């Protein structure tokens, strides 16, 4: 595979941590802990392949429905991983961004995220995005809210439909990034679970039965090979 057949932006729904742990008679949190190591490996794979952007769906807005003990553990796991890994990412010229609704996070957590983003902002290698407390519907809703605020302050404007699409796109979080070319979802589930609803209009989907803690470099290469074999026409004729 050469750079022309590689996706610029890979998005991953990291699913199956709990079932992986259950199959081994371990607590669910054991799967999440191993899953962090897999994220580190996939970041390295993307760097090696010179992928431009990697986004991982770490915590959705719906994940608050999980048992409080698991939610607390996931919050702590992300914070500890952030403090442990950010300097390494910076040394490797990786830029880190976190997308999602931060209003539900405590102030010190937000400050930690902001410090990590500031440290790596000028890096020019892989752009690593973590979707945390993220929802595709929330992203679209906050974009529309921004446009409504503009209209109330500046007066309503007349737009052609194509212009409205463009304005919404501009108001989405991290709108400067290319839309995902490839979505990978592990664990055998075949849905996008409220992830990048607007951005994945023409994304290629790769589903694998492998649980996230078992996601290897070989499985990652299978996903890239699948993508390389796709004929991306964007609605045009064959």
User: Across-strand partners of 184?
Assistant: 12, 206
**Count of residues in the chain:** 238
Q: Is 17 a catalytic residue?
A: no
Q: Domain map of the chain by residue range?
A: 3-135+180-227
Residue 238 has pLDDT above 70, yes or no: no
Closest by Cα among 163, 79, 180, 164 to 129: 180
pLDDT tens digits for 64-123?
A: 999 999 999 999 999 999 999 999 999 999 999 999 999 999 999 999 999 999 999 999
Q: What pLDDT is attached to residue 231?
A: 84
Q: Residues 2, 37, 63, 93: which is the catalytic one?
A: 63
Q: pTM of the prediction?
A: 0.93
Q: What pLDDT is attached to residue 2?
A: 64
Higher-pLDDT residue of 238 and 141 is 141
Q: Residues 15, 17, 139, 181: which is the catalytic one?
A: 15
Fold of domain 3-135+180-227 = Undecaprenyl pyrophosphate synthetase (3.40.1180)
Q: Where are the beta strands (DSSP E) in 109-156?
A: 127-134
pLDDT tens digits for 127-174?
A: 999 999 999 999 999 999 998 888 787 776 666 767 788 889 999 999
DSSP category for residue 179: P
- CA 66 from chain centre, in angstroms, equals 20
Q: Is 15 a catalytic residue?
A: yes
């Amino acid at each position: 595979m050469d750079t022309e057949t590689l996706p610029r932006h890979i998005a991953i729904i990291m699913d199956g941590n709990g079932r992986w742990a259950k199959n081994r008679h371990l607590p669910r949190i054991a799967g999440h802990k191993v899953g962090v190591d897999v994220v580190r490996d996939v970041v390295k794979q993307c760097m090696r392949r010179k992928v431009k952007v990697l986004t991982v769906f770490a915590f959705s807005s719906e994940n608050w429905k999980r048992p409080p003990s698991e939610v607390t553990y996931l919050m702590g796991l992300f914070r500890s991983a952030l403090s442990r890994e950010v300097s390494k990412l910076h040394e490797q010229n990786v830029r880190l961004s976190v997308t999602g609704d931060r209003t539900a996070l405590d102030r010190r957590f937000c400050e930690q995220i902001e410090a990590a983003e500031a440290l790596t902002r000028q890096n020019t290698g892989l752009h690593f995005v973590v979707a945390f407390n993220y929802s595709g519907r929330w992203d679209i809703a906050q974009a529309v809210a921004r446009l409504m605020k503009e209209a109330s302050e500046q007066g309503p404007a007349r737009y052609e439909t194509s212009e409205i699409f463009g304005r919404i796109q501009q108001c989405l979080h991290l709108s400067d990034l290319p839309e995902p070319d490839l979505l990978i979802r592990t664990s055998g589930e075949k849905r996008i679970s409220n992830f990048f609803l607007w951005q994945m209009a023409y994304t290629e989907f790769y589903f694998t039965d492998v649980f996230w803690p078992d996601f290897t470099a070989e499985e990652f290469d299978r996903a890239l090979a699948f993508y390389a074999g796709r004929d991306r026409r964007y609605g045009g004729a064959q």
